Structure 1
Amino acid sequence: MVVAPPAAPTACHGRLIERARWQWRPTDGGDPATAIQDFLTAHDLHLHDLARPAPRHDHHHEQLCGAALYVSATAGALMVGGDPGPPSPADLPDVAVVIYGHTDTPPPTPPPTTSGWSRGPWTESWSPQQHAAAVEAVRHAISRGQVYQVNLVGHAAAPYTGDPLPALARLGRLPGARYGGVLSGPDWAIGCASPETLIEVRDGTLTTRPIKGTRPATAAGRADLLASSKERAEHIMIVDLERNDLARIAATGSVGVDDLFAVRRWCDLWQAESTIRAQAADGLGLADLLRAVCPGGSVTGAPKLAALHHIAALEPVGRGASMGGLGWVAPGHIDLGLTIRTAAVDHHTVHVWAGGGITWDSDPDAEVAEAAAKTRPVRAALQ
């Protein structure tokens, strides 16, 4: 089954042919951000000055198209000197770069698989009571002035048999999946239905769209979200964090916020989203861009390094494919989604993650229910 990676150019779907691949795990050592940029440069994808608009590709005449890029939350934490947390429950790399060529002759369709998809029961990494206790632990840390907000994420796993790619592709077609698609490798695959932009770069403009605040997609839910002082405070805290992240790599005075706390729909949920834009500083390369925005502020908390310390102490398993970045990179356009609403498969297990931001006003039972609401459409797509 041929599935395009998230954010790949729509006109190129069905015409992408893998040309080269590089994968990284923490045991490999070195700086993954620099290695990613060096690998792309070695294959004529030059992303060393994002402030300068690059000429557009004419895909009808050029063999090189672009690359899929995946960076896990663990890799992002290591890039900024943060605590990477416990080991991932999923056996997959923490960085994957897949360079694609472009052809006007679609590759041959593989023969249909003979083994259908079958998924077993879910096993949770923590109970609702343990999740609620972790929420209380964050509230205590806030009361001591150690953090302002921490995002807590839970995990579930289920055995499977058969070909997982059709189920992951179905996940990527969920309503509101701005970054719907699949990236796969030997014995692993990631399916994404994320609505959230980690970072987009086009013609020297940097854009991130943090999402914070969730309610059921009903008229009452929308009104409640707009009226919630708790959700608005949590949201604006992350907007300020991500404004500061962009300011480190932006032209002086260019950071601005559009559409503050706009309500968007993903599946059966309303979510609050803001848009932050800036102009890239001269000479900004992909490696420094990744160090500035990874891991995403909306899935860490504030301050980011302190939040990572509490995440590592409280979450029972690593975040695996979730809460990282996944998308498309090419000269002239970078578009990485935050891997929320994401599933991963390894040899015989499918994994999902979900969570939410914890502030002083958080109610533990409500936070547990919110995480369950976020993962419900993902699990349903994987039936």
Structure 2
Amino acid sequence: MTRNGPDVVEALPQVEVDTPGAPPGCRRRLVETARLNWSATDGGDPADLAQRFLAAHGVTRDDLTRPGRHDPDDAVCGAALYLSAAAGAYTLGVSPGAPSPAPTLPDLVVVVYHHTDRPTPTPPPAHAGGWRLGPWRDSWTPAAHAAAVDAVRAAIARGDVYQTNLVGHAAAPYTGDPRPALARLAALPGARYGGTLHGPGWALGCASPETLIAVEHGRLVTRPIKGTRPATPAGRRELLASAKERAEHVMIVDLERNDLARVARTGSVRVDELFAVRRWCDLWQAESTVSAAPADGLGLADLLRAVCPGGSVTGAPKRAALAQIAALEPVGRGASMGALGWVGPDRLDLGLTIRTAAADGDLLHLWAGGGITWDSDPAAEVAEAAAKAAPIRALLAG
């Protein structure tokens, strides 16, 4: 575990903040003043570490029922927060699965920002001088992926799980600076949580449209996305008519209702919107909105323990699905299927890190997958994961 200091505005160089959820009016007035990097091998509870580190640096979120206030004249603006899927599994006390293929990437990053009166200069246009992306190598073959789908279907037949999300990984060697490529990914249309984050020896870019957890108007809100088709008129009709996709989606909505109920005021959980079909780039996706009033005294740490890892990328029941994932996926989920966003005195807004890529010193990494039910066709699931990854691969190549 590493921390930087001292905790003063002059401590670190100013850079324009590109973290999802950072207040737009503050982005050119922010400077990083403190950072926590944590990996699972460091020990401890990452959710508790995050809450205590934030409180120590002026962002107190130990009771989410008490509305805070963002004041651009105050010193502290807020913080970027990233939590890997492995860290989420760690908080539940279950196996995080295979090791990450990008081990230099921490499992928890908290970066605190202060306001400054010295606006950052407008950055020059992103330039990927010398950028070259080599061929992608998948962590499993299409046949191995299809066999994993069959293994999940067998587990469903035994009654072990109702649904499990399987995620594949690919890596490609690169030369040059990966950050402009990751910034292109973060700028995709519809990327509600588009942004980047980087540290020594690693960088990640996120184009996620999915809300893992937010606090909006005093309520906890999650917006699970489950169900995908090509963004054509026929694709939309097919998604709306698919009994398999709707059943899979409703199972995840029920899981999210149960997750929120663990930390909500009794009787306050509700489904505000069910199976709304929306477009993301060249895909139709089905999204629902589930909300609840937070229980008295609910803090950030307990909220993270309740919702991480996200139900739409694990399965139901969550613990049993995570056991399947640990047994079947050949490499860890790394930067994908975790949380990335903003925690401030007045707001909390974390996206699920789907449509996310990460770079270490040698390789660019990408993950894609989908939910498996009894009705899943192995070949179709392999094709769906490839369809999700293909446009992102092309974008990263530039």
Cα distance per residue 1:249-293 (max 9 Å; x no partner): 001111011120000111100000000011011100000000000
Cα distance, 1:63 vs structure 2: 2.1
Cα distance, 1:12 vs structure 2: 2.0
Cα distance, 1:204 vs structure 2: 2.5
Are positions 1:260 and 2:270 aligned together?
no
Are positions 1:344 and 2:358 aligned together?
yes
CA–CA separation in structure 2 for the residues paired with 1:113 and 1:304: 42
Change (3 A) 1:205 1:114: closer
Secondary structure class of the residue paired with 2:28:
coil
The one-letter code of the counterpart of 1:320 is G
Per the alignment, residue 75 of structure 1 pairs with 87
Aligned pairs for 1:177-326 (under 5 A) are 177-326=191-340
Q: Percent identity?
A: 72
Q: Contact 2:70/2:344 (CA < 8 Å) preserved in 1? A: no
Aligned pairs for 1:1-383 (under 5 A) are 2-54=16-68, 56-59=69-72, 61-90=73-102, 91-108=104-121, 115-383=129-397
The one-letter code of the counterpart of 1:92 is L
Secondary structure class of the residue paired with 1:360:
coil
Gap regions ≥5 residues in structure 2: 1-14
Q: CA RMSD in A?
A: 1.4
Q: Contact 1:51/1:203 (CA < 8 Å) preserved in 2? A: no
Q: Contact 2:16/2:30 (CA < 8 Å) preserved in 1? A: no
Gap regions ≥5 residues in structure 1: none
Cα distance, 1:103 vs structure 2: 2.6
Change (3 A) 1:103 1:233: same
CA–CA separation in structure 2 for the residues paired with 1:114 and 1:233: 44
Secondary structure class of the residue paired with 1:370:
helix
The one-letter code of the counterpart of 2:327 is A
Secondary structure class of the residue paired with 1:13:
helix
Of the structure 1 ranges 319-328 and 372-381, higher mean CA displacement relative to structure 2 is found in 372-381
The one-letter code of the counterpart of 2:168 is G
Secondary structure class of the residue paired with 1:69:
strand
Change (3 A) 1:2 1:379: farther
The one-letter code of the counterpart of 2:107 is D
Cα distance, 1:13 vs structure 2: 2.4
CA–CA separation in structure 2 for the residues paired with 1:323 and 1:17: 28
Cα distance per residue 1:82-126 (max 9 Å; x no partner): 211000001210000000112343224678878432111101001
Q: Contact 2:339/2:350 (CA < 8 Å) preserved in 1? A: yes
Q: Contact 1:202/1:332 (CA < 8 Å) preserved in 2? A: no
Change (3 A) 1:310 1:114: closer
The one-letter code of the counterpart of 2:376 is S
CA–CA separation in structure 1 for the residues paired with 2:237 and 2:217: 37
Of the structure 1 ranges 108-117 and 159-168, higher mean CA displacement relative to structure 2 is found in 108-117
Secondary structure class of the residue paired with 1:130:
helix
CA–CA separation in structure 2 for the residues paired with 1:124 and 1:334: 35
CA–CA separation in structure 1 for the residues paired with 2:185 and 2:363: 16
Q: Contact 2:79/2:111 (CA < 8 Å) preserved in 1? A: yes
The one-letter code of the counterpart of 1:287 is A
Cα distance, 1:203 vs structure 2: 4.1
Q: TM-score with structure 2 length normalisation?
A: 0.93
CA–CA separation in structure 1 for the residues paired with 2:128 and 2:206: 25
Give the total of aligned pairs. 381
Of the structure 1 ranges 124-133 and 110-119, higher mean CA displacement relative to structure 2 is found in 110-119
Cα distance per residue 1:7-29 (max 9 Å; x no partner): 21222223321010001001100
CA–CA separation in structure 2 for the residues paired with 1:377 and 1:198: 23
Q: TM-score with structure 1 length normalisation?
A: 0.97
The one-letter code of the counterpart of 1:103 is T
Q: Contact 1:4/1:14 (CA < 8 Å) preserved in 2? A: no
